[in-house]
Structure 1
């Protein structure tokens, strides 16, 4: 049944979105708004219509990002039901090694971040806040275990950012200014062979960005809170067609951020003694060289992160290097080919992957610089049982050369699709996934020297995801419903070393979650569309040496949005509501998260437009972290943007 709906486009960089998602409508002509089907390449490493994809999937277009009021990709992904992120700063801002993360279906650090299909997670961490918005063509969010096709770290799902490709000559420049010190400047220009862009952003001080740490005060004799300091970021990207077969993608980001832990003591001397400012410079690079010829595709990829951190106690004028400093790198090659059988009814996608990950700390004497080599062979076979029934069987074998203990991992997957008619389908998706410990967990400071401290019997975290779903997509409305169950074991934990410090990495924890996700979108008219979505689940975790389960993430989420466009005006609003949350350090339940955004835009002519965004309209102290520590989103803020096309 796939023959008339698919093409052999195995690489994400060659994907083309054909319309809107179950999400906020794409701004444009009424004809564009009526296109309801979209194409993804993430779910099965080939181009498939959403209706033909046996997995839970959301596609977020570049216009959807703007329509939701999102400042970046991190904000946009949070509008997908089932995603409850963890953030230290607004819009996923990372404070040094304190990394914000996308949590899919309640699993901490279970999401694999891809850019154009290539893995971006470094040392077990993958962020989205540093990806320049104007470089994004669309984002594909795949929920469910995905290690069969993508290897380690895709325990609960994959977020694949697809960047823009050269299409036609032209460009745009945008200037944005708002309160809280926000400024943004962006220039993008493209030709049929090359597209380039640069983005410069600034943010101001946010004081406070957490509540007063009363529980800490009892232990230290004083209380403190956290404040975000001024910061800025620089993002650059380029995509170029070197030939009909070769495409080069390159991106670079620089983020300078800082935060302070400020004592609330009345004495200025004591306050300075117990207050500290931490500042960071975070550099990230990503490059991929893609070859595509017929049914064969190959990619050489590289990405790195160089984090530099310093801190200063306020009774001193000097900054000193802190333990956050490190350099992480990843590079490799991925080659795959597709074979078609029975006149295109069946297909086999098979490939090989080889990559190396490295981690080097830059603070203190280095005992070792750990690295990990991974080699994998994978395959995905689709067989048409009957005209309306298709099965897909996948298998991946991964050979991992690890500095502590090498591993051999098999990750199978089985999918079944029943096409009810041209508008509806049912599917089942069962898959196994795994992840390895971070390389930084392998070596810790013991007696001022770096030593290998991980348990020698350390196993990968691994488990299964079970899912059944229903999709109904028409020109006027669409439904998606998914029921899922997750069961993972061997979760990593810590045990004391010979000095009593919790530095030894071991297995022992478990994670379970059962839930339901539902989404509905409807075209109210040729110019307007609304969407709603909800997710209810029961994420729970059992710690090592414990015999009881505790809540691991929020249980209930509602999202929704409305968008209207005309030749001159456009406006819309979006809402993300998260409730039934976890306890914090003070013993209280974290308050409901209510993110309500709105915008209005005016089109002067074909080349120039003005837009006003308002975010956090209720001016809430939204807690954007989960569990013990509270970190707040920004208060009410606005931004005025002018765009000139050329």
Structure 2
């Protein structure tokens, strides 16, 4: 095992070294450097700044980055970024019904607040990127570090802002993909200078196994074929106004296939009388997600109204009776809100002030017979602001904060989250920053209702309202210092951080039946780490990005003095992008090391994933491409600790697009 790991590391290191060794003395133009190596960022400060002048750790994925990633989904593309370790129950972020895939920043579980054009789309504590149409994305901005001073609850580790395309000119595109593993995609886009409409239907095939045998419960997981249908509409009725809408309807089927044998049933009291066919179950889900916003933005005043919702309907059956029954956990959730902010340039443009207000209503409702009593709602009102002082021509400092009043079904909250940042320009190409901020997150709405059984058996099992006394938000601080350098042909970004959080949500025995279903505050979380990213135009035709992080994410469970590892400690990413004449090719490699123990007492294997592709454009209208994902055909474990879930084996597809 050690020899195999050493060989893999040697290959990875050799690949990085051989790539770096071909660096040339070619210098990029200033325009190319600004747009690629020093992009404009709007998410971190809530107004436009160049990355070099932004006092936060930022990654911007533009359309070229997304294409070069070879990713089939936004989830996969974000997961290739430095400091991100995604958690998924299926390939390219597929979810297992209500068990959502999620984005974890800096080793912190469910730590990312996901925005679409600046509007929050997290629902019931889940930050799923499914339902967002990759073909409709202009760029993605990832800001690492506590983000609650700017964006409120759930931005514990940072913010992922998905910014959609804006109509530009009359055009049309058709695209088709056909691959192995049952994968197909058909897509079309048509637009003018005021409206653009995109639609796609994506199919994926069955996967015989998505997990090993569950040794304690005698089953393994599988996935049947499914599809996702997406629609996106972008309207630009005025230079300052944008209307955006995205919808996804997906259909998926999963299974838990029993591995019980006659010997196990005979010798284990727990399974006596069980029928393996009846223990084998299938779960079918139809998932509908919508998000929409109307945005006014004239560079100084920005206002929006936003809406997003999800309706998850599932049913299950065993393989003996083959009769589908309604899932108890079916639900509908939505969030609606409005926000307005204004930006002032003061003292001849040296200082910048931001003041904003936000109000939102969030709802969760059970829509099955058994959970129909579950009705939870939350109202939020917030005021936020920041002031950037230009102390000297080379030094600035920003003080900001957000005050939120939260009407919550468990316990009302008044939360203030401050932030303090500094930026020192060493010269026109180098800067040092510090970023100290507090962040928090509220409990999931549905956590106040739990399934309970009457110990005296006088009533049927049912959902009851349960919440711990004095339930507080999870909260804590992020401390960070960073260095940025942008030259004509390359750039460096280095950040060192320390995270300290408390009041993590846990479970305790409830007074109804004594089961651990009462939501309480409990554990703690610590992480100290370093992130490094290097981007270089090696030649006119070849660009390279290398990123890596090393950290020590730890959690301390409730009533415990022992600290446990909570996420992978090591992460490396490599991306190569080659473009010349009619050809474009790319490769992205990711490695997560020093992983967690799973429930079977074994360490999750190193995650090593390589995607590669090549595109040929015979003319301006057509592009033919060949894409390969999981090139090394590894049994990659795409969860952390606990039960294993696997990525797809090696898969590939041919892509053809025609642009009118």
Q: Please report the TM-score for the alignment, with normalisation by the length of structure 2.
A: 0.91
Q: Secondary structure at the match of 2:245?
A: strand
User: Are the counterparts in 2 of residues 65 and 72 from structure 1 also a CA contact under 8 Å?
Assistant: no
Matched, 1:272 2:277: yes
Q: Check conservation: 1:496, 1:504, Cα contact below 8 A.
A: yes
What's 1:342 paired with?
Answer: 347
Contact (CA 8 Å) 2:47, 2:343: kept in 1 or not? no
Equivalent residue for 1:546? 560
**Structure 2 partner of 1:224:** 219
The aligned runs of 1:24-423 (5 Å cut-off) are 35=35, 36-216=37-217, 223-265=218-260, 270-293=275-298, 295-363=300-368, 364-423=370-429
Question: After superposition, what is the alpha-carbon deviation per residue over 1:212-254, rounded to whole angstroms, capped at 9, x for unaligned?
Answer: 11132xxxxxx21101110100111111112333221111111
- Runs of 4+ aligned residues of structure 1 deviating over 6 Å after TM superposition are none
| Aligned counterparts of 1:48 and 1:214: Cα–Cα separation in 2 | 53
Measured against aligned partners, the alpha-carbon deviations of 1:589-611 in whole angstroms (never above 9, x if no partner) come to 00000001111111110000100
SS of the counterpart of 2:328?
A: coil
Offset at 1:293? 3.7
Alignment partner of 1:459 is 2:465: no
CA distance in 2 between partners of 1:271 and 1:406 (Å): 48
User: 1:129 Cα deviation (Å)?
Assistant: 2.9
Identify the residue that residue 573 of structure 2 maps to in structure 1. 559
Cα 1:561/1:318, change in 2 over 3 Å: same
Where in structure 2 are there 5+ consecutive unaligned residues?
Answer: 1-27, 266-273, 454-460
**1:428, 1:531 → 2: CA distance?**
24
| Shift in Å, 1:479 | 0.5
Question: 1:371 offset after TM fit, Å?
Answer: 0.3
SS at structure 2 position matched to 1:441: helix
Q: How far does residue 264 in structure 1 lie from its aligned partner after superposition?
A: 2.3
Would you say the 8 A contact 1:33–1:527 is kept in 2? no
**Contact residue 284 and residue 316 of structure 2 kept, 8 A:** yes
Whether the 8 Å contact between 1:96 and 1:324 is mirrored in structure 2 is no
Judge which range, 198-207 or 35-44, deviates more: 35-44
Q: CA deviation at 1:425?
A: 0.7
Deviation, structure 1 residue 33: 5.7
Q: Take 2:487 and 2:194, find their aligned partners in 1: how far apart are those partners?
A: 35
Q: Which residue of 2 aligns with 1:471?
A: 484
Q: Does 1:482 align with 2:499?
A: no
Deviation per residue, 1:136-165 (Å, 9 max, x gap): 001000000000010000000000000000
Shift of the alpha carbon at 1:631? Answer: 0.3
Instruction: Encode CA deviations 1:37-91: one digit per residue, 9 max, x unaligned.
Output: 2111100111111001000000001221121111111111111111111100011
* Whole-Å separation in 1 of the counterparts to 2:194 and 2:355: 30
Name the structure 1 match of 2:622. 608
**C-alpha deviation, 1:271, in angstroms:** 2.9
CA contact (8 A) 1:366 1:449 kept: no
State the 1:324 CA deviation.
2.6
Shift of 1:370: 1.0
1:19 aligns with none
Contact 1:199–1:235 (Cα < 8 Å) also in 2: yes
Q: In the alignment, does 2:658 pair up with 1:644?
A: yes
Determine whether 1:587 maps to 2:601.
yes
Q: TM-score, normalised by structure 1?
A: 0.93
- CA–CA distance in structure 2, aligned partners of residues 567 and 433 of structure 1: 48
**Do structure 1's residue 619 and structure 2's residue 633 form an aligned pair?**
yes
The count of aligned residue pairs is: 611
For residue 462 of structure 1, give the secondary structure of its aligned residue in structure 2. strand
C-alpha contact (below 8 Å) 1:33/1:526 kept by paired residues: no
More displaced 10-residue stretch of structure 1: 444-453 or 157-166: 444-453
Q: CA deviation at 1:294?
A: 5.2
Does the CA-based 8 Å contact 2:366-2:373 persist in structure 1? no
After the TM superposition, which of the residue ranges 442-451 and 205-214 deviates more from structure 2?
442-451
Structure 2 counterpart of 1:12 = none
C-alpha separation between the residues in 2 aligned to 1:307 and 1:349? 38
Residue 589 of structure 1 aligns to a residue in which SS? coil
| Aligned residue number for residue 17 of structure 1 | none
2:456 alignment counterpart? none
**Alignment check: 8 A CA contact 2:508 2:519 kept:** yes
Q: Is the 8 A contact 1:145 1:154 kept in 2?
A: yes
- Spell out, residue by residue over 1:531-585, the C-alpha distance to the aligned partner (whole angstroms, 9 max, x if none): 1111000000001111110000000011001111112111121100001000001
- For structure 1, which segment, 342-351 or 289-298, has the greater mean C-alpha deviation from structure 2 after superposition? 289-298
Query: Per-residue deviation at 1:368?
Result: 4.5
The CA RMSD over aligned residues, in Å, is 1.4
Q: Secondary structure at the match of 2:150?
A: helix
Aligned mates of 2:242, 2:543 — CA distance in 1: 36
Instruction: Kindly indicate whether the alpha-carbon contact (under 8 Å) linking 1:367 and 1:449 is maintained by their aligned counterparts in 2.
Output: no
Partner SS for 1:54: coil
Say if 1:608 and 1:291 are closer, same or farther in 2 by CA, change over 3 A: same
1:496 counterpart residue number? 509
CA distance in 1, matches of 2:343, 2:577: 40
What's the secondary structure of 2:67's corresponding residue?
Answer: helix
Q: Partner of 2:567: helix, strand, or coil?
A: coil
Asked whether the equivalents of residues 366 and 374 of structure 2 are also in contact (C-alpha less than 8 Å), the reply is no
